[in-house]
Amino acid sequence: MKRFLISSITGVLLSITAIPAFSMEDITLKSSSGDRTVKLALPELNGKKVPVIIALHGGLGNAKRFARDTELHGYANEQGYAVAYLNGSGTVRFNNARTWNAGDCCGPAARRKINDIEIIDQLITNLKHRINADPKRIYLAGFSNGAMMAYRYACEGNQPIAGVFGVGGTLAIDQCSQTIPYVLHVHGSKDENVPLLGGSAKKSRTKYSHISVYDHFELLQKDQACHSPRAESYRVGLQGISYKCNESKHNLLIVSKGDHRWYRSDNNSVRYDATINAVDFFTKIK
């Protein structure tokens, strides 16, 4: 069994042993856009309601690759969470290069107006019956186009989401019609795919002009009574801003000189680990 020594605020991994292998169950969901597959990693089930993290891969990625790159299930299963890695929609030619219709962005899913709200609705309902998923502890974690989709679902979906952890992807819709109680958004200061300050991306294959991270939070908090944003000081390489409103608590974490990636302790100079931070963030708000 692995052991972690971490900072629960910033997800900094101080020491770690190898993550053990977990078996995954494959689920197939039927939808108007065709079959979707899910890789489901389960903790030890004890008859109690199970908290669930739905993990949404980045654009042109897939569930299998996202599970491999993030290893969310390794730490999350130990903490009692089920992790459901959901596949976006592919094309006949590129079935494993999948995207999400997050609104105006991105790729084939957005152009074809795929109903990804429907498929996430269906997944949550399925998990309630299949594993006794706790309806009050359904969380979304996403990267890039997957983060955009996580925010869209939390804003427009038919089932309540307790919290969203997004990395490198901002809202691609014009408004958020539902309150997201808790958000932790992580963004690299040097992200050239979804720029921190918004605009067209140098390294993106799309011509989409993204909103800034700061405008992203304004949309999430529209019509709420909020305190002025407060700067948070963590340590060298990590800067934070907290947004406290009457109905929500949102946080932004900026990785200094960070680019467009799901951060693990061994792929960035400040040793920030998004996988650890995501699970600890959800645990803290339960």
User: Once rounded to an integer, what is the mean pLDDT over residues 93-100?
Assistant: 88
What's the CA gap between 277 and 127, in Å, rounded? Answer: 24
Residues 6+ apart with CB under 8 A from 164: 139, 140, 141, 142, 150, 151, 154, 180, 182, 183, 184, 185
End-to-end CA distance of the chain: 24
What's the CA gap between 43 and 4, in Å, rounded? Answer: 17
User: Which burial class, exposed, middle or buried, applies to 184 when counting CB atoms under 10 A from its CB (0-12, 13-18, 19+)?
Assistant: buried
CB 72 within 8 A of CB 279: yes
**pLDDT for the residue numbered 189:** 97
Q: Structural domain boundaries of the chain?
A: 4-284
The answer on pLDDT for 114 being more than 60 is: yes
CB 138 within 8 A of CB 124: yes
The answer on pLDDT for 19 being more than 50 is: no
Prediction pTM value: 0.92
β partners of residue 239: 233, 254
Per-residue pLDDT of 141-182, as tens digits, reads 999 999 999 999 999 999 999 999 999 999 999 999 999 999
- Residue 118 is encoded by which pair of tokens? 């429907």
Within 10 A of 3 (CB to CB), how many other CB atoms are there?
8
What's the CA gap between 208 and 107, in Å, rounded? Answer: 10
What's the CA gap between 261 and 239, in Å, rounded? Answer: 17
Comparing CA positions, the residue from 180, 179, 210 lying closest to residue 197 is: 210
User: Once rounded to an integer, what is the mean pLDDT over residues 8-36?
Assistant: 66
What's the CA gap between 60 and 158, in Å, rounded? Answer: 26
Range of weakest confidence among 19-28, 156-165, 218-227, 236-245: 19-28
What's the CA gap between 26 and 127, in Å, rounded? Answer: 13
Per-residue confidence at 13, pLDDT binned at 50, 70, 90? very low
CATH architecture of the domain 4-284 equals 3-Layer(aba) Sandwich (3.40)
